Chain A
């Protein structure tokens, strides 16, 4: 039986043909060349319209009809129930309990990939949406009218989702393993957190409406929905259709708080990568100061990590705002607020690239556990063998450490080039003269190079 530590740096990199830092230089050169290629050959905006066109009516009926939607909702509710039950009643060994891998790997890392490839697939599987819609339908049947609801405060926008996202990652990384020392996120805590979040989400849905809360406040819906904007598949007016890839992203960030969501995504991933590597010295230093000040061990660990996580959010936000501030200096620039929300969508591919780069190996290895022994024995108590795979293990040789490194570098480079493309396209909307648009993007180029080098630095330290 393979015992797996629930950690993030799962493998050490093998020898590379050139030093890791040279990859940062190479990636920077790719970005600079891409920037000049865009300046020369991309002179009118192409992503303002997504050019959505419907697929056949039969496809929409089959995939969006109530039988399949109800089945997906039922599966979502069932899996949430299994995760909560396993968390509360299963083993405390994190690697043997279904709850942790399901919540923090399969759902958290799997849906972003599925969303980019297939569209917003979380929507039909969302257990809280399914429960909320069912409760709404029952209420309508009994009361003969739809339930009254409050108007959602538009100024709040997606801020509840941004806070939810930070809280979720805080639970996993800070509450769970402050400064590399495991102090908490045991399956029981994850089960309780899932229950508390379920009550909170259902209450918010009752107050503001199911779809409204999924669109703005339910952080998993917002987070996965954000990544689905990069892909081709989308539902409009009850019909499934295809659209120009990336185009939908250009209008996603117009809702207040959207910039915070995408910055939180990059910041939390960065902190997860840096906590065990690049920030380790700083975290230890601050932790010792808190201990000297008389704080308890666990509280000091959590406080230190919380501060560094907040600093990551502030740092990523500051780099983005500096890029936006630089654009403001170009003649004919719109207001700072317009620029701030107008270019936030260019960070979505970067958020996705950071996810792939930091968690690719974790997904490859832990999904083997998810679909073998964790599925057969969800409680991890050796009491069930539902699919006959309870004694399976993880094959750590399924992919080499060097291949993982190349996937990480490739994801970061492609993600940032796509970010440059989206930013350049938006600049052509704000500055009609393509030369002004190009000048405005000098600063976004600096932002992209900074994020790329930072991401590669985090990986190189974490893998060392």
Chain B
């Protein structure tokens, strides 16, 4: 049985999710940029 009466204790997760999504987006963007830069550097003389 799901303890629905206690679901309120976990509402904070819904407030943390946007922060995690933004941090995930930032990390992904930075990794992609780093990969692109190292590729551009490798193509050079």
Chain A residues at the B interface, C-beta cutoff of 8 Å: 21, 24-25, 28, 32, 278, 326, 329, 439, 442-443, 445-446, 449-450, 453-454, 456-457, 460, 464
Contacts and interface: CB of A to CB of B under 8 A. Distances in A.
A262 to B, nearest CB: 21
B23 A446 contact: yes
Contacts of A454: 15
Interface string B9-22: 00110111111011
A69 B6 CA distance: 59
A77 B10 CA distance: 50
Query: How many residues of B sit at the interface, in one of the four size bands?
Result: 10 to 19
Contact of A442 (B17, B21, B30): B30
A449 B15 contact: no
Contacts of A445: 22, 26
A251 B33 CA distance: 33
Contact of B19 (A326, A329, A439, A449): A449
Contacts, number: 44
A21 B19 contact: no
A25 B18 contact: yes
Interface in B2-40: 8, 11-12, 14-19, 21-23, 26, 29-30, 33
Instruction: Pick the 4 closest A-B CB pairs, nearest first.
Output: A28-B18, A21-B14, A457-B15, A442-B26
A439 B33 CA distance: 10
A443 B26 contact: yes
B11 A446 contact: no
Given A21-B11, A21-B14, A24-B14, A453 B26 contact: no
B30 A453 contact: no
A7 B42 CA distance: 64
Nearest to A451: B19
A387 B22 CA distance: 55
Interface of B: 8, 11-12, 14-19, 21-23, 26, 29-30, 33
Main secondary structure of the interface of A (DSSP, over half): helix
A28 B22 contact: yes
Nearest to B29: A442
A453 B13 CA distance: 11
Contacts of A24: 14-15, 18
A460 B14 CA distance: 12
Contacts of A21: 11, 14-15
8 contacts: A25-B17, A28-B19, A32-B22, A442-B29, A442-B30, A446-B26, A450-B19, A453-B19
A439 B37 CA distance: 14
Nearest to B26: A442
Contacts of B26: 326, 442-443, 445-446
A38 to B, nearest CB: 15
Contacts of A25: 14, 17-18
Nearest to B16: A453
B18 A453 contact: yes
* Most chain A CB atoms below 10 A, which of B11, B21, B22, B33: B22
A442 B12 CA distance: 23
A24 B22 CA distance: 13
Contacts of B15: 21, 24, 453-454, 456-457, 460
Nearest to B18: A28
Nearest to B13: A21
Nearest to A458: B15
Contacts of A278: 12
Contacts of B22: 28, 32, 445-446, 449
A464 B21 CA distance: 26
